[in-house]
Amino acid sequence: MTENRSNPKILPWLARKAGISEHRAAACWRAACRDAERRLGPEPGPEFWKLAMDELVARVAAEALAADSASFGFRRLARQQARYWTLPVATFEVAAQTTSRFWQAFNRPLVSH
């Protein structure tokens, strides 16, 4: 396998969602490609890429679990707390949109028949 294969475009998003570094996710991708090559051979095809992506998702999930267990649960708690801090912003956004729609509907001219 040539080592110059580029990383998938979903890799940074997947790393952020799992809470691991992009460097660690790239290492998981390279390991997933090596595993797919070992199982299916060096010629990439649809089965190769499906196996590599499935292996990548499994490896990233394992990395996230390892990072969570290494922090004794505080990492997971911190991510949950960060989601709670964004809740008031989302609530305010919905309230502002609702108010704006109400005033737009209220200010429409009356249709004369």
- Per-run averaged pLDDT (10 residues), the chain, 113 residues: 71 90 93 93 90 94 80 69 77 89 82 69
In this structure, are 39 and 87 located in the same domain?
no
Q: Are 51 and 37 in contact (CB under 8 A)?
A: no
In this structure, are 51 and 82 located in the same domain?
no
Tell me the pTM: 0.59
Rg (CA), the chain: 23
In this structure, are 79 and 61 located in the same domain?
no
Range of the domain at 22: 1-70
Residue 112: inside a domain: no
Q: What angle do CA 36, 17, 59 make, to 5 degrees?
A: 25
In this structure, are 14 and 62 located in the same domain?
yes
Alpha-helical regions (H) of 10-111: 11-18, 22-40, 46-70, 74-106
Handedness of CA 50, 22, 67, 80 (dihedral sign): negative
In this structure, are 33 and 80 located in the same domain?
no
In this structure, are 53 and 96 located in the same domain?
no
In this structure, are 36 and 78 located in the same domain?
no
